[in-house]
Each structure stands twice: as structure tokens, then as C-alpha cells.
Amino acid sequence: MSRFQQAEVYYPEAADWQLLPFRFERLNGRVLLTNLVGEHLFVSADDFAELAEERLPDDSPLVKKLRAKHIIRLEEEQSRCSSWPSRPNPL
């Protein structure tokens, strides 16, 4: 029996949030994040690295700011568009 645990034990827990489409630009040591409609937020380079690697803790104050700017969403939140009925194909 091995005294070592499997590598998966040491992986960080999956975040309870998901990235939404956004763009970013590095400016003067900070990172500008913009969503598809132009809402924006400046974050530090370290916060951006955590976001990009999906390591940002769920209890981080930044999570609330990112949700407010529609850059991330919680997993249980669903897009309003995905619940709309689709139109029948006229052909």
C-alpha cells in the first residue's frame, strides 16, 4: 500500500462560478476586463491570473464585482436566452 495519495486529492476544488465571454487588456500593471456590452472593471494582475486559472475563491469580494459586471456567473444561474422557446423552422 502506497503512503502517497493520488494527485487528484491535491487539486483545488472546482469553482462554483463560470466565465462568461469577456475581453481583457493589460494597462499600466492592471488588467481591464470588458464584457460583450461594454461593462468594465479593472483588476490587479494577480486577481486576473486567479480568474484566468479559475482559482478565484468563491468567497472573494471580487466574485461579487465580476458577477455584477456579467463577467462570471454562478453555476446555478442560467442564461435567460437558454430558457426561451426556439422558433419552429419555417421550412
- Mind listing the pLDDT tens digit for each residue in 44-55? 999 999 999 988
Q: What is the pLDDT of residues 6-45, one digit of tens each?
A: 776 666 566 788 999 999 999 999 999 999 999 999 999 9
Q: What are the residues whose beta carbons fall under 8 Å from the beta carbon of 37, sequence distance 6 or more?
A: 70
pLDDT at 87: 59
What's the predicted TM-score (pTM) here? 0.69
Write down the domain spans for the chain.
16-76
